[in-house]
Amino acid sequence: MCFVGSTTYWSKAVYTFEVQFIELRLSRPALGVAGGAASGKTPVCDLIIEQLHDQRVVLVNQDSFYYNLTAEELTKVHEYNFDHPDAFNTEQLLRAMEKLKHGQAVDIPKYDFKSYKNDVFPARRVNPSDVIILEGILIFHDPRVRDLMSMKIFVDTDADVRLARRIRRDTVQKGRDINTVLDQYSKFVKPAFDDFILPTKKYADVIIPRGGDNHVAIDLIVQHIRTKLGQHDLCKIYPNLYVIHSTFQIRGMHTLIRDSQTTKHDFVFYADRLIRLVGICCRDMALVVEHGLGHLPFTEKQVITPTDSVYTGVDFCKRLCGVSVIRSGESMENALRACCKGIKIGKILIHREGDNGQELIYEKLPNDISDRHVLLLDPILGTGNSAVQAISLLIKKGVPESNIIFLNLISAPQGVHVVCKRFPRIKIVTSEIEVGLNKDFRVIPGMGEFGDRYFGTDDDDQPPVPVVPH
Ligand SMILES: Nc1ncnc2c1ncn2[C@@H]1O[C@H](COP(=O)(O)OP(=O)(O)O)[C@@H](O)[C@H]1O
Ligand SMILES: Nc1ccn([C@@H]2O[C@H](COP(=O)(O)O)[C@@H](O)[C@H]2O)c(=O)n1
Ligand SMILES: [Mg+2]
């Protein structure tokens, strides 16, 4: 897990957005596998788990959250609809998933298909894992459950195949007679599939025809999970490395700013948006860190509202400062000011030649910098040599290592190793971990010379975009 932080503290604050942000960062990748009954969800999950053999994976079945039947319902079990969303205790499922996603162990009931009860067998203790898989016919039905999934898979198998498998499974494994199975199918299973399960197929990121037989689809899914876990590995080595939770919105911004064909105007617009997001995450961290040190970041503040009522709120912490590494780091200043109004910003200029030969040319820092938490701004962490120069200067000026947060957009693993090994107490906040460096020590896939693209000093000769007054 990459992120730490006290959510208890934040629940007192009024900044809902920040609270959500911290919650998101705490979570683990969760895969949802849905599809009709007997479509082959279980073999798909088993194959994914088998191929991720070196990772800790936990499988949760929606079946475990079937409600116990009452004595009256038991007498008329053939009239009970097990394929309706109301048959499941979704609140209990949500609580269990939230706990697992936040790294806590949880007891999952074991459902007994013969007695229709979930308390016949002892519950299964499930420990937190690197990946969580939730499997079940209706896991994409409730938006709250659906939204917990970072990847949604729908196993798409023809109705006749599902029925044939169901007959065999229910007669052999569950000891039911064939007429009961067929009655249940036509009365409940088929209508519920059409009304509740099939309509959730549109939420899937991946649709797998032929279930467990589709090895190509399973290989691709496993590869995707491995890529996601790659970032986690670096975070596991360095607990002070914070990679912000990736969403499609963030991936979309990255796609735009990394594209060499993107116009300067769009580059600046989307780079600013992304920096703002990372900035908010970073500011939260600084505040959490301060809280941890016992210096409350907020003081209580009462204001009078226009209805003459008293509103008790909080006043922001004022002991933060930014330090930008000229020139690319300056592109991050506006976003930082947007997150932290009135923040002081110092500057450092480091001359760079190749992968080393860094030389400090200029510095102008607030006089009281040693009393502040410093957000060091540089959009790209490559070799780590400039960062080491900048951090060394801050430490020389009396800033405690643990009060420095290095804020960037992309980090090469090489740079992460260099910085984190030399300064184990500083924090790095980044939005993506790169593949590496090329022979010229440039980050790959990277986004080119950030400063040139942002300030328009690359060769591209685009006309300035006129400012239209509102
Ligand atoms: N690709 C397959 N080929 C043959 N039988 C299969 C295949 N996939 C699943 N089955 C069988 O069909 C039955 C139902 O499959 P199951 O995996 O339990 O479905 P689900 O988990 O989607 O309810 C099981 O008895 C299983 O062994
Ligand atoms: N007591 C029960 C509970 C559920 N079912 C059927 O199980 C199906 C869901 O499980 P899958 O592993 O197939 O996804 C569903 O179609 C229910 O009708 C049951 O028969 N008896
Ligand atoms: Mg199953």
Q: ipTM score here?
A: 0.94
Q: What angle do CA 353, 355, 357 make, to 5 degrees?
A: 50
Q: What is the mean pLDDT of residues 131-143?
A: 96
Ligand 2 lined by 193 (C-beta under 6 Å): no
Ligand 2 lined by 38 (C-beta under 6 Å): yes
Ligand 1 lined by 42 (C-beta under 6 Å): yes
CA 226 to centroid of ligand 3, rounded, Å: 24
pLDDT in tens, 163-212: 999 999 999 988 999 999 999 999 999 999 999 999 999 999 999 998 99
Contacts of 339 (CB under 8 A, 6+ apart): 276, 279, 280, 283
pLDDT tops 60 at residue 10: no
> How far apart (Å, rounded) are the C-alpha atoms in residues 325 and 328?
7
pLDDT tops 50 at residue 238: yes
Q: What is the mean pLDDT of residues 359-379?
A: 91
Q: What is the mean pLDDT of residues 385-399?
A: 95
Ligand 2 lined by 137 (C-beta under 6 Å): yes
Contacts of 276 (CB under 8 A, 6+ apart): 335, 338, 339
What residue owns the CA closest to ligand 1's atom 18? 38
Ligand 2 lined by 455 (C-beta under 6 Å): no
CA 73 to centroid of ligand 3, rounded, Å: 24
Q: Which of 354, 415, 351, 367 is nearest to 388 (CA)?
A: 415
Residue 197, pLDDT score:
98
pLDDT in tens, 34-89: 999 999 999 999 999 988 876 678 999 999 999 999 999 999 999 999 999 999 99
CA 59 to centroid of ligand 3, rounded, Å: 11
Ligand 2 lined by 44 (C-beta under 6 Å): no
Q: What is the mean pLDDT of residues 317-345?
A: 84
Residue 356 burial (C-beta neighbours within 10 Å; 0-12, 13-18, 19+): exposed
CA 247 to centroid of ligand 2, rounded, Å: 33
Residue 284, pLDDT score:
56
Considering every ligand atom, which ligand is closest to the CA of 62? 2
Q: What is the mean pLDDT of residues 16-28?
A: 37
**C-alpha distance from residue 429 to each of 22, 245, 312 (Å):** 13, 11, 32
CA 163 to centroid of ligand 3, rounded, Å: 14
In ligand 2, which atom is closest to the CA atom of 77? 1
pLDDT band of residue 232 (cuts 50, 70, 90) is: low
Tokens 């298909």, residue?
113
Considering every ligand atom, which ligand is closest to the CA of 40? 1
CA 39 to centroid of ligand 3, rounded, Å: 8
pLDDT band of residue 317 (cuts 50, 70, 90) is: low
Ligand 1 lined by 276 (C-beta under 6 Å): no
In ligand 2, which atom is closest to the CA atom of 135? 14
Is 225 within 8 Å of 239 (Cβ atoms)?
A: no
Mean pLDDT of the chain: 83
> How far apart (Å, rounded) are the C-alpha atoms in residues 225 and 151?
9
Q: What is the mean pLDDT of residues 371-399?
A: 93
Ligand 1 lined by 38 (C-beta under 6 Å): yes
In ligand 2, which atom is closest to the CA atom of 166? 13
CA 42 to centroid of ligand 3, rounded, Å: 4
Q: What is the mean pLDDT of residues 109-129?
A: 90
Q: Which of 39, 41, 42, 137 to mutate to test the pocket of ligand 1 (most atoms within 8 A of CB)?
A: 42
Q: Which of 67, 82, 153 to mutate to test the pocket of ligand 2 (most atoms within 8 A of CB)?
A: 82
